[in-house]
Amino acid sequence: MSKIYKTTLKNGLTIITEEMPDIQSATLGIWVNIGSRNENSAKNGISHFIEHLLFKGTKRRTALDIAQEIESVGGVLNAFTGRENSCFYAKVLSKDIPLASDLLSDIFLNSTFDEKEMEKERMVVLQEIKMVEDTPDDLIHDIFATAFWKRHPLGRPVLGNLQTVKSINRSDVVSYYKQLYTPHTVIITAAGNIQHKKLLKLLKPFEKMSRHQAMEKTTTPVSYHGVVLEQRNLEQVHLCLGTPSPRQAHPDRYKIYLLNTLLGGGMSSRLFQEIREKRGLAYSVYSYLNLCLDAGSLVIYAGTAPDTFGKVVELILKELNTFTKKEVGKKELISAKEQLKGSMLLGLETSESRMTKLARDEIYFNRIVDVKEITEGVDKVTAQDIRNLAKDIFNPGKITLAALGNVKDKDIPKTIRREVGGGR
């Protein structure tokens, strides 16, 4: 049986572990409560840029040394940046935890931000941005976020844009890193075949991190609603249609989890069945949640032919309206609950997923949320709860629609309030 331990260092940095003695692996992650929403518009993308640069060499290791050391034991060393946090993690066999701890400590605390390496990696990030620009089913989500969170940092792309990434210099990187990547923003989590006390000794370098003044809180986002159409000569129209939802730690979170599952959370969901299976109007159609500290959104994605774009939007709106008019049937609700609980439990079978859960619980709830509490929360949701939530968030006046492709304004249903037509 696993055990969870938490230690807060004198400088304020938090270390949380989950000891899972029955598995062979362990995953160690350094989480920073810094993401694209902490950036100003001129330096949009700097958090993601720093994520790349931390792998480009330290005082003790070259970029090649870093790659060779982790691969020599069959391990994985990786990172990702989001709108609210960044994570640098290593997954290894339990016997290689000392190596993983040393590697992560070194890249996080001792990166040199070498000028030559920075220029090479800048080119890599610029290519990554261009890749997204060439991938419309990825790009549409950024277009939607920009429209939905207009004039707020949450609406900016995590990668930044070509102009901002080109403008970031070494001084910007070093200053931003020193100011924000400090103990009060860092959480280290680990899960797997590890021992908490031994890991604390391996992580002693983090005790030397000095305290800094707490960063300013970012402003609470306000969603905007209407239609944004971006013309592009594509075979399909890619669309995102979304609405505000409860934030990550809101008491209604279990209701929105279930509503999302019922709406577009799998092959048995209403949208998949109605739009793909019954009518063949889309290959890909689904819904997802983007839940943040102080706000959230429920977003529906679909890719369809230009001449069926209007029909698909109408079908989506019809399904949303159905949720507001009629309670979900008992059988369908039970099935959605079992799907949600099952996917969560199956997803927690790896050391990597357990490490992630520890961090997200601390970031969003300031405590470890027991799995039993989650399953009980899901089970308590009623059909009336879902209908009441749907009536609140599926109001036509709250809906945002973004579309990319050969789109026509005349195909937009009149129930969606118009705002602006024409890109970002």
Residue 54 belongs to domain with CATH number: 3.30.830.10
71 catalytically annotated: no
- For residue 421, pLDDT beyond 60: no
Give the separation between CA 165 and CA 129, rounded to whole angstroms.
10
Same domain, 68 and 29: yes
Same domain, 40 and 163: yes
Q: Are 16 and 4 in contact (CB under 8 A)?
A: yes
pLDDT band for 2, please (50, 70, 90 cuts): confident
pLDDT band for 213, please (50, 70, 90 cuts): low
Give the separation between CA 352 and CA 25, rounded to whole angstroms.
9
Is residue 32 in some structural domain?
Answer: yes
Same domain, 247 and 349: yes
414 vs 154, higher pLDDT: 154
The pLDDT, as a whole number, for residue 340 is 97
Same domain, 281 and 364: yes
Is residue 337 in some structural domain?
Answer: yes
Q: One of 18, 19, 39, 51 is an active-site residue; which one?
A: 51
Is residue 219 in some structural domain?
Answer: no
What is the number of other CB atoms lying within 10 angstroms of the CB of residue 356?
20
* Domain extent for 364: 226-411
Give the separation between CA 7 and CA 11, rounded to whole angstroms.
11
Cα–Cα separations (whole angstroms), residue 287 to 35, 126, 240: 23, 29, 9
Examine the fold and report which residue of 208, 243, 275 is the final residue of a domain before the chain moves on: 208
The pLDDT, as a whole number, for residue 422 is 41
Average pLDDT over residues 310-322: 96
- For residue 420, pLDDT beyond 70: no
H helical segments located in 152-249: 162-167, 170-180, 196-202
pLDDT band for 360, please (50, 70, 90 cuts): very high
Same domain, 182 and 258: no
Closest by Cα among 243, 228, 408, 231 to 317: 243
Examine the fold and report which residue of 182, 208, 234 is the final residue of a domain before the chain moves on: 208
Structural domain count, the chain: 2
Same domain, 298 and 156: no
